[in-house]
A = this chain, B = another copy of it.
Amino acid sequence: MERGDRLFRTGDVLSSIFVVRDGGFKTVVLRENGEEQVLGFHLPGDLVGLDAVGLGNHRCDAVALTSTNVCEIRFEDLAGAFADLPSLHKQLLRLIGQHSNRDQDHMAILVRPQANERIALFLLNVAGRYRLALFPVHAFKLPMSRGDIARYMGLASETVSRGFSRLQDDGVIALQGRVVTILNAGALGRLAQHEEMIEPPRHNERRVACIHGAV
């Protein structure tokens, strides 16, 4: 699939669940006033489409953020297999539970009153997910735009941009466009919990991203 393509749209009947192999998706709802709200990001290894399991219809659009590669699981096959393998039910329930955990992480971000905390949490979140799915990496490329991140976190895109720049100035992360390198995970964790930066940045001038060849 290419960037901008939709895996499914709001209202579509549930026919398949997808596993992201490569690339990334966002799931979005369009509010009555025309604004787009980003419900979640789906990175390699993640499932897309579980939102329709409850009622049988999708409640959001799944939009490809980049060129993507997905694995399709036809739901009727799954339903047929349920009768034979009761354990599959537990499996599905566990998946749904994980999905719900994602929502909870999202809410944990949204309730923070401070933009910097939200941004720090977001980065830790994404980094953790990449760490699970791929081999541990210090640098990863965000497939989504700053605007998407903003609409995910309930902030203006300028605020996201400023927050990223600030983290770079403080030597917590290095930025190269959408490529993020976490330089100081400890500091990021403290920022996510409203604690002040304890170790001050070593230099005040913005350093160029030195990703020691990992990019």
**Residues of A with Cβ closer than 8 Å to B?**
29, 31-33, 37, 39, 51, 53-55, 59, 82-83, 86, 89, 93-101, 103-104, 106-108, 110-113, 151, 153-156, 193-194
Say whether, besides A59-B104, A194-B33, A154 and B54 are in contact (CB < 8 Å).
no
Given A54-B100, A59-B104, A107-B110; 12 other pairs, CB 8 A cutoff: A33-B193, A33-B194, A53-B96, A54-B93, A54-B95, A54-B99, A55-B97, A96-B96, A103-B103, A103-B104, A103-B107, A110-B111
Given the complex of chains A and B, what is the CA–CA distance between A39 and B99 in angstroms? 15
* A82 with B93, Cβ < 8 A, contacts A39-B104, A51-B100, A194-B33 known: no
Please give the count of copies of this chain that the complex contains: 2
Given A107-B106, A194-B33, verify A101-B54 contact (CB < 8 Å). Answer: yes
Contacts of A156 in B (CB 8 A): 113
- Given known pairs A32-B193, A104-B59, A194-B33, the reply for A86 and B86 (CB within 8 Å) is no
Q: How far is the CB of A43 from chain B (nearest CB, A)?
A: 19
Q: Roughly how many angstroms separate A59 CA and B98 CA in the complex, as a whole number?
A: 11
Question: Contacts A55-B97, A107-B110 known; A83 to B82 CB distance under 8 Å?
Answer: no
Q: Is the CB of B37 within 8 A of A96?
A: no
A97-B53, A100-B51 in contact; A37/B82 too (CB < 8 A)?
Answer: no
Distance from A157 Cβ to chain B, minimum over Cβ atoms (Å): 12
Neighbour of A82 across the interface among B31, B89, B100, B101, CB < 8 A: B89
- A93-B54, A100-B100, A101-B54 known; A111 vs B59 contact (CB < 8 Å): no
Instruction: Judge whether A98 and B193 touch: CB under 8 Å.
Output: no
Which residues of chain B are near A101, meaning CB under 8 Å? 54, 59
In the bound assembly, the distance between CA atoms of A41 and B206 in angstroms comes to 46
Q: Which of B98, B108, B194 contacts A54 (CB 8 A)?
A: B98
